[in-house]
Each structure stands twice: as C-alpha cells, then as structure tokens.
C-alpha cells in the first residue's frame, strides 16, 4: 500500500545518458569496469536481475557518486525487495524488523520537551552524553516513535520505511516541533534525502547535529581551547545521502583546533566501518575493510578516530583502540575542546 | 527435648553458631523459588569436619532430620527442611586447602563460594579457572557440584560434577570417609581408577551423606575471551548448527537463548558461542573456523551472526552474567523459576514448542536459556518463567507452568535437573523399577534411620 503511495523519483534518461556510471565504477566493494557497469545499469533501470543486487554491501556511497541525484542506491534497494533478494540472512532481517516496531502508544514522557530538541534515535545510552555547556537548554526525545527506520535499506526491506515513516513523522509533528536536531545522521538523511526522493512530506525542519554543534561552538568560541590533535574521521553510510552538510564538519574541526589528517579512505573515498558488511555475513571482506581503514589511519598518524554514528563506533572502536588510536564521538571531541583535555571525563 | 538438642548443638559448635530463633529459622524455611516454606527447628553452622561428624552422630542417635545446605539457591526447594530438624549451613567451612597448579586441581571445603574461588584463582593463578555456573557469587562450589550443575566449561568437559577429583564425606552414621586418590595418597588428583564411589553422593541432594571437602579440576584460562551470537528462526536448524559448532572444538562455551522480550528477539533463537585465546591470532583463528563451519546455513540465508552492541557484548562476557537478573525481573517483583531440562539436543525443537505452549496456556511470558553439555552429548534447556512476588496470581501461574514444564521434560524423553521433592516423585514414577529399588537400597544402607534431607529421592521398598 505504501509503495503505491510513495514512488521513487527516478529518471531513467539520466542513467541512459550517463557516460561514466560512477555509481558502479567507483564502488569500493565491487570491481566493475565502465562497460560492465553500463550493462548492469541497463538491467537495473529495466527492473531486471543484476549482479549488483546480489553483491551490493549497502554502503550507500553510490548515492553520493551519482552527481545527477538520480538515487541509484534507492533503486537498488527497491529492486532487491521486489525480487526477494535479502542481503542478510532471514533471522538477522527479522531481528531488525522487530527492533523498531512502533509500539501502540507514544512515550508521554517526552510531551513537554521544548525546542531546541535533539532526537537521540534509538540510542538511550547517549542520553548521559548530551549535557554540559554544549547542550544547555536542549530537550531530548528518543525511542521507537522517533526512529527513522532507514536501516531497512541495508536489509532489502525499504517498503517498511515507507510504511512506518509517515506515522513517525506524524508523531514528531504532534509534538509541535518546528525544528528537530537529529543526533544520528541516518535520521537527518531520512527526513531530507529519503523523504524527498519518495515525495513524503516532512512538516518540520530537520537540523543536522553538525549544524547544531557548529552554531553552538561559535557561540562558545571564547571558551574553546584548541585541541591541537590529529584526527581521522570515520564517515557513516547515511552521510552519502546528504553530503551537502559535510562542510560543517571541517568548520567544526577548525573551531576546535584539530587537524583532519589527509588519508586515502576519507571524504568520498571513505570506507564503511564494516559493521553492516559483517551483518551481511561477508566476514572476510569485513576483516579486510577494517584492516585497510585502520592501517590508513595509522599511516596518516591520526591520534583520534572521530565518529558521528554510534553504530560505526560500536563496530570500529575496538579495532582502532588496538591500533593505538583513541575512538571518540564528535560531540565528545567538542566537549573535550570546551572542557580542556585535562578536565575531560567523557 | 528440643532444649536438650539445642544444648547439645551449642556444645558442639558454640552458642554463636546455633539458632532456634524464629527470625533466623525463617531464612532457612524457604528459597527464592516457589516451593512451599517449611521451618527447621535448628540451624547450625559447623567449622570443622569433626563438628559435622558430632552433629550427624547426634541427629542419627536422636533420629532428627538433617538438611545440609550451601547458599540454598537451587530455586527448587532442595534445602527446605520438609520435616523440620536441623539445617546444617556449611558456609563457615570456607577454606581453600590446597592448590596444585601443575596438577590443575584445587581442594576446598564445602562452604567455599563461587565468588571466593573465582577471586582466589584470579589472584593466585590467573592462568587457571574452574567451570563457573550462571549463579550468584554467593552460591557454593560444592552445592553446584552436588546437584550436577553446569558452567562455562561444561561444553568441552561435561557436567561440573564430572570435574570432581576427590571427596571427603561424613556418612549419615557419622563415619568419615575419603573417596578417590585422597583415600590412599596425600594427593587429590583423581577419582579414578578406584571403584566409582563418588556416584553415591553426587546428585543425591544430601540424602546419602555430607560432603565436607572436595577436590576440583581446574582448566587453562586463556587471556582473551569473546562471544558471537548466531541467530536462527528454525529450531531444527539449531540442532544442526550446534553439531557443526561443537565439531570444530573451537568453542569454550555454547549457549542458547530464545525469548519474546526484548521485542527484537521475538521469533528468533540465538546460539551464544564463546571463544578464547592467548593471542588475537588464536582468537581470530577460532572465530574464522566457527564462521566457516556455519557457512552453508549462512549461504542459505537461514542463519547469521548478529552484530553485538558493546553493552550487550559486555553483558554476555560477564562471568557470571548479572544481566540474567534483569531478565528474571522482567515482570518486576523479582521472581524467577525454571525447570532445567537435561535433554538430547535433537529434542530442542520439541522443548521450545512445549515452552511456548505452556507459557501461552498459562497466560505468562517466558525466557529460554540453555547450555550445551559435552561436545553436544546433551544440553540443559531451561523452561524459565519470571513472576511478580507481589502478585499471588502471577506466582500461581508460574508455579503451574513450572509443573507442566517438568511433565513436558519427561514427556519428550528428558531428565529434569535438580527437581524439587514433588518433581522427584514424577521422575521416580517413570523410572525403571529396578533403578528405583537400587536407589532405595542404597539410601537404606547408608542412612538406616532416614535422617538425611527427608522428602528427597524418597523410595518405599
């Protein structure tokens, strides 16, 4: 029912006239030359089976590689579902589907939350980190009724997003929020890129966490103590859907005095944290991707690895720690700059 | 008469360690499960085997029921004195007597707790460990062995009771005897190759004697430990998956979980696979072998490894797992009972189906956890039910569900583990008549006056 209502805004002419097929040729996990890419793209736009549907690791990067904004990744996931191609084993998919079933009632606790309000998605363990000067006067909301559902792009179940998302949007709107700051990049990208691609109305302004941090840090500029650290940044998958806000990140790093090290696997060439690759049961690839990524950080002499996604942190933190690099969430790094390294207790 | 017994007990252990005060007897009249309470007349805490011997002689002479107890944490009422008498609280006998590091065994007294032994080993020989059950640290090691408990080393080495290397026992008549190599040598290294007398005391719930000292096997403790959760939907595939995992001989511990809460887990079954290694390489080697062993199931998309969030992994790696108390308290009110069914692993699908049916029939929720015993020779399948102690209806439902679980265990061909007195009757009713008679004859021979934990393994010859 949802699929009939919300159709992907996809222009096949844009693909047919494409000369480079960057969406596939730049893929870091499938070896595809231009000629093969052309053939596979034609299969995809005709709704036919393609090796891409079976080998995609769902890193989202092709959304960014396509400079025409034609949503190749959304097309891939829709086709995976249509053809019953599950990227992950059925029980894993089932657990994820169960994870975020919106319960019957919203959590009344959050009524009364006032703007500025940060949605913590389904990460209650981060509540205690949203405190201090950086978050003065900020309310928190979280839970199933704020969960964006975008994760189902990884599991061949995109229709579930479109089925559940309108209710989630309605719930958030019922709180009367004009703006919601999204802690998790994935939520922000859902309410911007994904909703827009499928014509789903969002009656509030999604604000990216980066934007909030940058603006708040500017207000507190006089209190910042430059960290003078070399950091490696770990992009998460959904940042590929909304690269337009990435500029905030460099501005934040400038404000807090850290150097984002130049390395091979950064920016558009970033590697997946490996978490989803493991969930898709591609163990050898998971090990290889994490190894290359961390070696790259070490080679670039990064002292910290900065994350903006809790799931990436979970997946990669242990490995970077073993390599002698300290893992840290972006907002904790910002708090570190405000508190001074000697006073930081994060 | 009671006054005289009290005085005699004071004479043996001193006034400080005997009680007939109602408020102290109350503690020994019940456990954390759903068994009906029953008060003892006295509780006594001996310090030495000689004191135990004198208490036993007194009880035998006066024909007073005698119930040996550790921390009384079986949940099935095994240390509740059904016919009054003396509860013998062994927890003052808590000395660690000998650690033989090269021989990998330790000799302890009956009151040594899991927490004490775990701490002792961590401090004194961090490269050795014992098989630690999912019990509170206050549980006694000997108590766990005497009820055929299981622990984190049960998958490679079998029931914890098979790790006994020697026993010192006070018989119901007061005679002290030693079993195993310690009966003829200063070393407590092995029960075998002598006649297997340990079998007269393990699994008898204190009805044949009181174990005062015990030799226990220790095992290599690796520096690193990790866990993977393999998720399935089809319980039949779990049987195959466990066969493959145990075939690799790479896992330290293999557990099972199936529960409807949190919602994420509903409709799935998880196998916890614990791996250990002294180096990252060893750990990764084992992990890879285990992943590969399940390759066909993964390829068929019928099962896969779950991504574990750090908090969840931390909880799973904790020894013992305190997160189990949160599961137990899911209904609030802190009640939790289970029937631990020892079953062939091939019966897992039947057991799980029965568990869900029983829970639905009684209108309650459930949680299953299990542990593979030996290299897949059998498993402990827990039919577990949380309940609210503040709600009599909730308790009634859990008790009924528990009783039905024992019946289901027998029906599918399993054997209930640490059954309470009522459930022992169910077992004896189904048991081969020759075996029942043998149990009766052994009890009559060792305990002619029937003083030892009466009501348990009771057979009329």
Positions of E strands within B37-112: 42-44, 66-69, 86-89, 96-100, 105-109
Report residue B416 as tokens.
Answer: 């209930």
Give A203: exposed, middle or buried? Use CB within 10 Å, 0-12, 13-18, 19+. Answer: exposed
Q: Do B310 and A92 touch (CB under 8 A)?
A: no
Do residues A43 and A50 lie in contact, with contact meaning Cβ atoms separated by under 8 Å? yes
Q: Give CA–CA dist B108/B120, Å, rounded.
A: 11
C-alpha distances out from residue B352 to A4, A186, B68, B261, B327, Å:
40, 37, 34, 15, 18
Q: Which of B226, B231, B287, B315 to mutate to test the interface with A (most CBs of A within 10 A)?
A: B231
Per CB-CB distance under 8 Å, the chain A contacts of B304 are 88-89, 91-92, 279, 281
Task: Classify B202 as helix, strand or coil.
Answer: coil
A228 and B CB contact within 8 Å: no
Do residues B381 and B339 lie in contact, with contact meaning Cβ atoms separated by under 8 Å? no
Q: What is the DSSP letter of B80?
A: S
Q: Which of B231, B288, B310 sits opposite A91 (nearest CB)?
A: B231
Q: Which of B261, B302, B306, B317 to mutate to test the interface with A (most CBs of A within 10 A)?
A: B306
Q: Which of B223, B281, B309, B313 to mutate to test the interface with A (most CBs of A within 10 A)?
A: B309
The residues in A 182-221 lying below 8 A from B, measured between CB atoms, are: none
C-alpha distances out from residue A24 to A15, A61, A154, A284, B26, Å:
12, 10, 17, 21, 73
pLDDT in tens, A309-339: 999 999 999 999 999 999 999 999 999 999 8
Q: Give CA–CA dist B440/B42, Å, rounded.
A: 27
Q: What is the DSSP letter of B113?
A: B
Judge whether residue B428 has pLDDT over 50: yes
Cβ within 8 Å of residue B335, ≥6 positions away: B32, B34, B328, B386, B387, B388, B389, B394, B395, B398
**Closest chain B C-alpha to A67 CA, distance in angstroms:** 32
pLDDT in tens, A144-201: 888 999 999 999 999 999 999 998 998 888 888 999 999 999 999 999 999 999 999 9
Domain A90-212, CATH number (from 3.20.20, 1.10.30, 2.60.120, 3.40.50): 3.40.50
**Closest chain A C-alpha to B266 CA, distance in angstroms:** 7
pLDDT in tens, B135-193: 999 999 999 999 999 999 999 999 999 999 999 999 999 999 999 999 999 999 999 99
Q: Give CA–CA dist B104/B373, Å, rounded.
A: 21
Q: Give CA–CA dist B140/B115, Å, rounded.
A: 8
Q: Which of A91, A314, A317 sits opposite B304 (nearest CB)?
A: A91
Same fold, A90-212 and A216-343: yes
pLDDT in tens, A239-292: 999 999 999 999 999 999 999 999 999 999 999 999 999 999 999 999 999 999
Query: Stretch B232-249: mean pLDDT, rounded?
Result: 98
Q: Does domain B224-417 have CATH number 3.30.450.40?
A: no
More confident residue, A142 or A206: A206
pLDDT in tens, B187-219: 999 999 999 999 999 999 999 999 999 999 999
Do residues B142 and B214 lie in contact, with contact meaning Cβ atoms separated by under 8 Å? yes
Domain A216-343, CATH number (from 3.30.360.10, 1.25.40.80, 3.40.50.1860, 3.90.226.10): 3.40.50.1860
Q: Which of A89, A275, A317 sits opposite B304 (nearest CB)?
A: A89
pLDDT band for position A108 (cuts 50, 70, 90): low
Q: Is the dihedral of CA A122, A128, A131, A137 positive or negative?
A: positive
Which among B230, B364, B367 has a CA at the least distance from the CA of B292? Answer: B230
Q: Give CA–CA dist B425/B407, Å, rounded.
A: 11
Rg of chain A over CA atoms, in angstroms?
A: 20
Residue in chain A closest to B310 (alpha carbons) equals A314
| H, E, C per residue of chain A | CHHHHCCCCCCHHHHHCCCCCHHHHCCCCCCCCHHHHHHHHHHHHCCCCCHHHHHCCCCCHHHHHCCCCCCHHHHHHHHHHHCCCCCCCHHHHHHHHHHCCCCCCCCHHHCCCCCCEEECCCCHHHHHHCCCHHHCCCEEECCHHHCCCHHHHCCCCHHHHHHHHHHHHHHHHHCCCCEEEECCHHHHHHHHHHHHHCCCCCCCEEEEHHHHHHHHHHHCHHHCCCCCEEEEEECCHHHHCCHHHCHHHHHHHHHHCEEECCCCCCHHHCCCCCHHHHHCCCHHHHHHHHHHHHHHHHHCCCCEEEECCHHHHHHHHHHHHHCCCEEEEHHHHHHHHHHCHHHCCC
Q: Do A89 and B298 touch (CB under 8 A)?
A: yes
In this structure, how many other beta carbons lie within 10 angstroms of the beta carbon of residue B390? 12
Per CB-CB distance under 8 Å, the chain A contacts of B264 are 95-96, 98-99
Q: Do B280 and A98 touch (CB under 8 A)?
A: no
Per CB-CB distance under 8 Å, the chain B contacts of A318 are 310
Report residue A230 as tokens.
Answer: 């070399």
Do residues A257 and A227 lie in contact, with contact meaning Cβ atoms separated by under 8 Å? yes
Sheet holding A139-141, edge to edge: A139-141, A117-119, A179-182, A205-208
**Closest chain A C-alpha to B302 CA, distance in angstroms:** 6
Q: What is the DSSP letter of B162?
A: G
Residue range B2-91 forms a domain whose CATH class is alpha beta
Per CB-CB distance under 8 Å, the chain A contacts of B261 are none
pLDDT in tens, A7-31: 999 999 999 999 999 999 999 999 9
Q: Which residues pair with A309 in a beta bridge?
A: none
pTM, two decimals, is 0.94
Task: Classify B302 as helix, strand or coil.
Answer: coil
pLDDT in tens, A272-281: 999 999 999 9
Cβ within 8 Å of residue A189, ≥6 positions away: A150, A238, A239, A241, A242
Q: Give CA–CA dist B54/B8, Å, rounded.
A: 10
**Closest chain B C-alpha to A219 CA, distance in angstroms:** 34
**Closest chain A C-alpha to B398 CA, distance in angstroms:** 26
Torsion of the alpha carbons at B227, B228, B230 and B231, rounded to the nearest 10:
90
Sheet holding B176-180, edge to edge: B96-100, B105-109, B210-217, B164-170, B176-180
Domains in chain A: boundaries = 2-82, 90-212, 216-343
Q: Do A95 and B264 touch (CB under 8 A)?
A: yes
Rama region for B303: left / alpha / beta (φ>0; ψ in -120 to 50; rest): beta
pLDDT in tens, B285-318: 999 999 999 999 999 999 999 999 888 999 999 9
pLDDT band for position A2 (cuts 50, 70, 90): very low
Per CB-CB distance under 8 Å, the chain A contacts of B303 are 89, 91
**Closest chain A C-alpha to B268 CA, distance in angstroms:** 6
**Closest chain B C-alpha to A270 CA, distance in angstroms:** 21
Residue in chain A closest to B299 (alpha carbons) equals A89
Domain B92-220, CATH number (from 3.30.465.10, 2.40.240.20, 3.30.70.1520, 1.10.10.10): 3.30.465.10
pLDDT in tens, A56-85: 999 999 999 999 999 999 999 999 999 999
In this structure, how many other beta carbons lie within 10 angstroms of the beta carbon of residue A186? 25
Q: Which helix (H) or strand (E) holds B255?
A: strand B253-258
Backbone angles phi, psi at B368, to 5 degrees: -110, 135
Q: What is the ipTM of this complex?
A: 0.92
Q: Give CA–CA dist A320/B227, Å, rounded.
A: 19
Rg of chain B over CA atoms, in angstroms?
A: 22
pLDDT in tens, A196-233: 999 999 999 999 999 999 999 999 999 999 999 999 99
Domains in chain B: boundaries = 2-91, 92-220, 224-417
Backbone angles phi, psi at B257, to 5 degrees: -140, 135
Q: Which of A58, A90, A144, A294 to mutate to test the interface with B (most CBs of B within 10 A)?
A: A90
């Amino acid at each position: 029912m949802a699929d009939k209502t919300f159709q992907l805004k996809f222009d096949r002419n844009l693909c047919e006239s494409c000369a480079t097929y960057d969406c596939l040729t730049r893929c870091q996990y499938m070896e595809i030359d231009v000629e093969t890419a052309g053939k596979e793209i034609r299969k995809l736009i005709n709704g036919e089976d393609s090796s891409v549907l079976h080998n995609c690791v769902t890193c989202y990067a092709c959304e960014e590689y396509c400079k025409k904004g034609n949503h190749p990744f959304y097309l891939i996931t829709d086709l995976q579902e249509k053809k019953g191609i599950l990227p992950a084993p059925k029980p894993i998919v089932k657990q994820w589907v169960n994870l975020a079933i919106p319960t019957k009632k919203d959590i009344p606790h959050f009524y009364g939350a006032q703007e500025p309000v940060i949605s913590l998605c389904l990460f209650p363990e981060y509540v205690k980190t949203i405190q201090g000067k950086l978050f003065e006067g900020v309310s928190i909301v979280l839970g199933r009724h704020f969960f964006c559902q975008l994760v189902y792009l990884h599991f061949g179940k995109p229709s579930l997003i479109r089925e559940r998302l309108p209710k989630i949007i309605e719930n958030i709107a019922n709180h009367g929020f004009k703006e919601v700051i999204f802690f998790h990049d994935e939520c922000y990208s859902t309410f911007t890129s994904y909703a827009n691609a499928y014509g789903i109305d969002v009656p509030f302004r999604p604000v990216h966490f980066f934007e909030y941090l940058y603006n708040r840090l500017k207000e507190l500029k006089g209190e910042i103590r430059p960290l003078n650290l070399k950091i490696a940044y770990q992009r998460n998958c959904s940042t590929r859907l909304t690269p337009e806000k990435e500029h905030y990140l460099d501005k934040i790093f400038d404000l807090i005095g850290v150097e984002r090290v130049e390395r091979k696997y950064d920016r558009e060439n970033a590697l997946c944290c490996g978490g989803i690759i493991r969930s898709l049961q591609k163990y050898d690839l998971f090990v290889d991707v994490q190894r290359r990524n961390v070696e790259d950080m070490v080679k670039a002499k990064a002292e910290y690895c900065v994350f903006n996604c809790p799931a990436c942190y979970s997946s990669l933190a242990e490995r970077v720690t073993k390599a002698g690099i300290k893992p840290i969430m972006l907002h904790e790094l910002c708090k570190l700059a405000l508190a001074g390294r000697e006073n930081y207790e994060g | 008469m009671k006054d005289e017994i009290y005085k005699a007990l004071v004479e043996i252990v001193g006034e400080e360690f005997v009680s007939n005060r109602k408020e102290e007897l109350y503690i020994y009249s019940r456990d954390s499960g759903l068994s009906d309470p029953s008060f003892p007349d006295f509780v006594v805490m001996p310090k030495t085997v000689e004191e135990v011997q004198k208490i036993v002689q007194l009880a035998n002479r006066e024909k007073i029921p005698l119930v040996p107890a550790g921390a009384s944490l079986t949940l099935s009422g095994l240390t509740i004195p059904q016919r009054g008498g003396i509860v013998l609280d062994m927890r003052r006998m808590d000395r660690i007597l000998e650690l033989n590091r090269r021989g990998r065994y330790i000799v302890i007294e009956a009151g040594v707790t899991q927490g004490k032994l775990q701490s002792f080993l961590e401090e004194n020989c961090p490269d050795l460990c014992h098989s630690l059950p999912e019990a509170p640290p206050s549980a006694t090691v000997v108590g766990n062995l005497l009820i055929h408990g299981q622990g984190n080393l049960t998958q490679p080495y079998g029931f914890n009771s098979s790790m006994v290397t020697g026993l010192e026992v006070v018989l119901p008549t007061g005679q002290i005897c030693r079993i195993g190599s310690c009966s003829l040598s200063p070393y407590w290294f092995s029960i075998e190759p002598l006649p297997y007398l340990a079998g007269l005391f393990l699994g008898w719930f204190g009805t044949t004697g009181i174990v005062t000292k015990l030799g226990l096997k220790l095992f290599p403790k690796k520096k690193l430990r990790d866990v993977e959760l393999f998720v399935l939907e089809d319980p039949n595939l779990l049987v195959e998956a466990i066969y493959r995992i145990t075939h690799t001989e790479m896992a330290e511990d293999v557990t099972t979980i199936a529960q409807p809460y949190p919602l994420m887990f509903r409709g799935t079954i998880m196998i916890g696979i614990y791996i250990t290694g002294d180096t990252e390489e060893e750990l990764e080697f084992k992990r890879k072998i285990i992943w590969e062993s399940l390759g066909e199931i993964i390829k068929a998309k019928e099962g896969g490894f779950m991504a574990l969030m750090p908090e969840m992994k931390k909880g799973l790696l904790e020894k013992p797992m305190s997160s189990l108390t949160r599961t137990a308290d899911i209904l609030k009110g802190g009640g939790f009972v289970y029937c631990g069914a020892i079953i062939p692993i091939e019966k897992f699908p039947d057991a799980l189906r029965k568990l869900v049916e029983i829970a639905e029939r009684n209108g309650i929720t459930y949680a299953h956890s299990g542990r593979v015993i030996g290299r897949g020779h059998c498993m402990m399948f827990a039919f577990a039910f949380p309940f609210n102690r503040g709600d009599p209806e909730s308790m009634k439902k859990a008790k009924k569900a528990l009783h039905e679980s024992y019946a289901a265990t027998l029906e599918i061909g399993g054997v209930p583990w640490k059954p309470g007195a009522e459930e022992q009757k169910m077992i004896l009713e189904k048991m081969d008549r020759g075996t029942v008679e043998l149990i009766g004859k052994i009890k009559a021979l060792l305990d002619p006056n029937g003083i030892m934990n009466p009501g348990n393994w009771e057979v009329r010859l």
